[in-house]
């Protein structure tokens, strides 16, 4: 039963049938021209999603975490100082990685539920008269708390301080689902993976790199081998790969890019907004609160919902999985046991979101939450009913 239900975890996301078929290919020779013919068009496709015309795209057979690592190891040198804020499990883990790489981390701390504090970044950068800070790290969408940070505001802060630091951004749970503007925001490295907005299995680390980051790469001294951008830049333009490429995933990525193009990137964002808003209406009707502190921070891909005092959110998630075969996200780190998460990203629609809202509601009532069955569903229905446009016009698929 359960494998017929969509998952509501914030990645890996649901894989549409069309992509499952695209991935499933007989072996081809990755040194043949047929690989290059499939591979080369992926780069302009991904650049469109990242909204970059001046940057390069680099893809490793790995996950988002490797994208973080490549961002650091290709642009920085041993002992370099970086500036970052810890306000959720993912920003925490990237900071932890920097420490393990021997970087000197100037760490700000914000509450879990707050965004990356642009004003504090600016103050830290202004105080850094000798420009010792080499990079600012931002998690665009903190998947643990359902918080979207304002990357444009961080860019403004860096510019206002007149600081030359690189801007490295984790867009793993936002890119291809929420608006991301690599060039406009002056993002130097943008990191994502295949298993979230791109609706594929895990296995591709997808990284956007600015010209400024490429320049930093020339002099960066941290060791790198498997994740060396230079090996990709030397081979990819000719349709080659420095080792065996994950051919099936690349076929899948090509098809995912087609799906996004057919729906229209802005329509994809609008669909995510609608799904998210329906979930938020339900949360409100349940009398519960989001972990995100204010509406400007609300993520369009993930809602972290605070459970009532005395309840354990992990039990709720386990119960929903065991009884109804539906997967929600548990709370991580500082919010473990305190929030459960409804992922609403990737291959989902508002109609599917209703089933997640309805299931969460049943599970909460089962466990004695003071919630009225149907209340959240009704609030979401009312919103979806009134906000659903007629089916967006789809471009003719080939
Ligand atoms: C999922 C996620 C990651 C981790 O990516 P992996 O593919 O699991 O390595 C990093 N950052 C954010 C914000 C995420 O949501």
Q: If you measure from the C-alpha of residue 272 to the centroid of ligand 1, how many angstroms do you get, rounded to a whole number?
A: 19
139 lines ligand 1 (CB under 6 A): yes
High-pLDDT (> 70) share of the chain, %: 97
Task: Enumerate the domain spans of the chain.
Answer: 17-261, 266-385
Give the DSSP H or E segment for 253.
helix 247-263
Label residue 269 exposed, middle or buried (CB < 10 Å: 0-12, 13-18, 19+).
middle
In angstroms, the CA 217 to CA 205 distance is: 18
Residue 311 near residue 367 (C-beta atoms within 8 A): yes
Question: Does residue 391 have a pLDDT over 90?
Answer: no
Q: pLDDT tens, 241-264?
A: 999 999 999 999 999 999 999 999
Cα(68) to ligand 1 centroid in Å equals 9
Query: What's the pLDDT at 398?
Result: 40
Query: CA-CA distance, 394 to 396, in Å (whole number)?
Result: 6
CA of 65 to the centre of ligand 1 (A): 6
Q: How far away, in angstroms, is 380 Cα from ligand 1 center? A: 28
Nearest to 150 by CA among 179, 111, 183: 179
Q: Is the pLDDT of residue 395 over 80?
A: no
Taking the C-alpha atoms of residue 230 and residue 276, their distance in angstroms, rounded to an integer, is 39
At 103-160, the pLDDT tens digits run 999 999 999 999 999 999 999 999 999 999 999 999 999 999 999 999 999 999 999 9
The finding on whether 11 has its CB within 6 A of some atom of ligand 1 is yes
Name 139's Cβ contacts closer than 8 Å, sequence gap at least 6.
87, 88, 90, 91, 94, 116, 149, 169, 170
287: pLDDT strictly greater than 60: yes
- Locate 381 and state its tokens: 């229905």
d(CA 53, CA 239): 20
pLDDT in tens, 171-187: 999 999 999 999 999 99
Report whether 65 contacts 74 (CB < 8 A): no
Nearest one of 273, 283, 298 to 356, comparing CA atoms: 283
Q: Which of 77, 46, 45 is nearest to 171 (CA)?
A: 46
Q: Which atom of ligand 1 is nearest to the CA of 139?
A: 13
What's the 141 CA to ligand 1 centre distance in angstroms?
A: 10
Atom of ligand 1 nearest to the CA of 140: 13
Residue 165 tokens, joined: 């630091």
pLDDT at 2 over 90: no
pLDDT at 396: 46
Distance between CA atoms of residues 358 and 347, nearest Å = 18
Give 368 Cα–ligand 1 centroid separation in angstroms.
33
Give the Cα separation of 210 and 202 in Å (integer): 24
> Is 266-385 a domain of CATH 3.40.50.720?
no
Q: Which atom of ligand 1 is nearest to the CA of 173?
A: 15
Picking from 105, 132, 108, the residue whose alpha carbon sits closest to that of residue 120 is 108
Q: How far is the CA of 325 from the centre of ligand 1 (A)?
A: 24
pLDDT at 393: 52
Contact 67, 206 (CB under 8 A): yes
Do 45 and 254 form a contact (C-beta atoms < 8 A)? yes
Residue 87 and residue 96: Cα distance in Å, rounded? 13
Residue 1 has pLDDT above 80, yes or no: no
pLDDT in tens, 298-315: 999 999 999 999 999 999
Element (H, E) at 56: strand 56-60
Is pLDDT of 389 > 80?
no
Atom of ligand 1 nearest to the CA of 65: 9
| Among 84, 170, 171, residue to substitute to test ligand 1 (most atoms within 8 Å of Cβ) | 170
Q: What is the pLDDT of residue 3?
A: 79
By DSSP bridging, strand 81-86 and strand 56-60 are unpaired
Q: Does ligand 1 have an atom closer than 6 angstroms to the CB of 172?
A: yes
Q: State in Å: Cα 216 to ligand 1 middle.
A: 24
Are the C-beta atoms of 243 and 321 separated by less than 8 Å?
no
* CB neighbour list of residue 152: distance below 8 Å, 6 or more residues apart: 181, 184, 185
Q: How far is CA 300 from CA 149, 176, 225, 295, 304, in A?
A: 12, 11, 36, 11, 11
Mean pLDDT for all residues in the chain = 96
Asked if residue 143 has its Cβ within 6 Å of ligand 1, the reply is: yes
What is the structure's pLDDT at 388? 80
Nearest CA among 148, 210, 204, 211 for reference residue 179: 148
- 233: tokens are 């830049």
The CA 63 to ligand 1 mean position distance, Å, reads 8
Q: What is the pLDDT of residues 84-93, one digit of tens each?
A: 999 999 999 9
| CATH node for 17-261 | 3.40.640.10
Q: Would the pLDDT of 34 be above 80?
A: yes
User: Residues with Cβ < 8 Å from 101, sequence gap 6 or more?
Assistant: 69, 72, 73, 76, 222
Cα–chain center distance at 215: 26
Contact 77, 132 (CB under 8 A): no
The reply to whether ligand 1 has any atom less than 6 angstroms from the CB of 299 is no
Is the pLDDT at 370 greater than 90? The verdict is: yes
The whole-angstrom separation of Cα 125 and Cα 132 is: 9
Looking at ligand 1, which atom is closest to the CA of residue 11? 1
CA of 107 to the centre of ligand 1 (A): 20
Cα 226 to Cα 210: distance, rounded to the nearest angstrom: 20
Q: Give tens-digit pLDDT for 39-84.
A: 999 999 999 999 999 999 999 999 999 999 999 999 999 999 999 9
- Please name the residue whose Cα sits nearest to atom 6 of ligand 1: 64
Please identify, by atom number, the ligand 1 atom nearest to the C-alpha of residue 67: 9
Is ligand 1 within 6 A of the CB of residue 52? no
């Amino acid at each position: 039963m359960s494998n017929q239900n969509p998952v509501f975890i914030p990645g890996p996301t649901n894989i549409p049938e069309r992509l499952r078929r695209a991935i499933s290919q007989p072996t081809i020779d990755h040194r043949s021209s047929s690989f290059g013919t499939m591979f080369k068009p992926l780069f302009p496709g991904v650049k469109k999603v990242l909204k970059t015309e001046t940057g390069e795209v680099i893809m490793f057979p790995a996950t988002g975490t490797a994208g973080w690592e490549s961002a650091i190891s290709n642009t920085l040198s041993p002992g370099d100082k970086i500036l970052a804020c810890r306000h959720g499990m993912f920003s925490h883990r990237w900071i932890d990685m920097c420490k393990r790489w021997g970087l000197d981390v100037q760490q700000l701390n914000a509450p879990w539920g707050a965004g990356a504090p642009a004003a504090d970044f600016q103050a830290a950068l202004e105080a850094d008269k000798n420009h010792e800070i080499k990079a600012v790290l931002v998690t665009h969408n903190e998947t643990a708390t359902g918080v979207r940070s304002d990357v444009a505001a961080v860019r403004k802060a860096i510019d206002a301080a007149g600081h030359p630091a690189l801007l490295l951004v984790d867009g793993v749970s936002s890119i291809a689902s929420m608006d991301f503007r690599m060039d406009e925001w002056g993002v130097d490295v943008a990191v994502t993976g295949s298993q979230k907005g791109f609706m594929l299995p895990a296995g591709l680390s997808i990284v956007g790199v600015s010209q400024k980051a490429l320049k930093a790469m020339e002099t960066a001294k941290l060791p790198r081998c498997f994740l060396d951008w230079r090996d990709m830049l030397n081979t990819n333009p000719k349709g080659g790969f420095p080792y065996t490429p994950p051919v099936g995933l690349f076929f899948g990525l090509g098809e995912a890019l087609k799906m996004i193009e057919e729906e229209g990137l802005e329509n994809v964002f609008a669909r995510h907004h609608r799904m998210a808003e329906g979930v938020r209406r339900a949360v409100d009707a349940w009398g519960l609160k989001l972990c995100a502190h204010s509406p400007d921070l609300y993520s369009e891909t993930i809602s972290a919902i605070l459970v009532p005092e005395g309840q354990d959110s992990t039990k709720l998630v386990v119960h929903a999985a065991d009884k109804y075969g539906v997967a929600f996200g548990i709370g991580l780190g500082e919010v473990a046991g305190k929030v459960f998460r409804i992922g609403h990203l990737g291959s989902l629609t508002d109609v599917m979101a209703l089933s997640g809202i309805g299931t969460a509601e049943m599970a909460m009532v089962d466990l004695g939450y003071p919630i009225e069955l149907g209340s959240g569903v009704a609030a979401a229905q009312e919103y979806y009913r009134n906000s659903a446009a007629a089916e967006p016009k789809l471009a003719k698929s080939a």
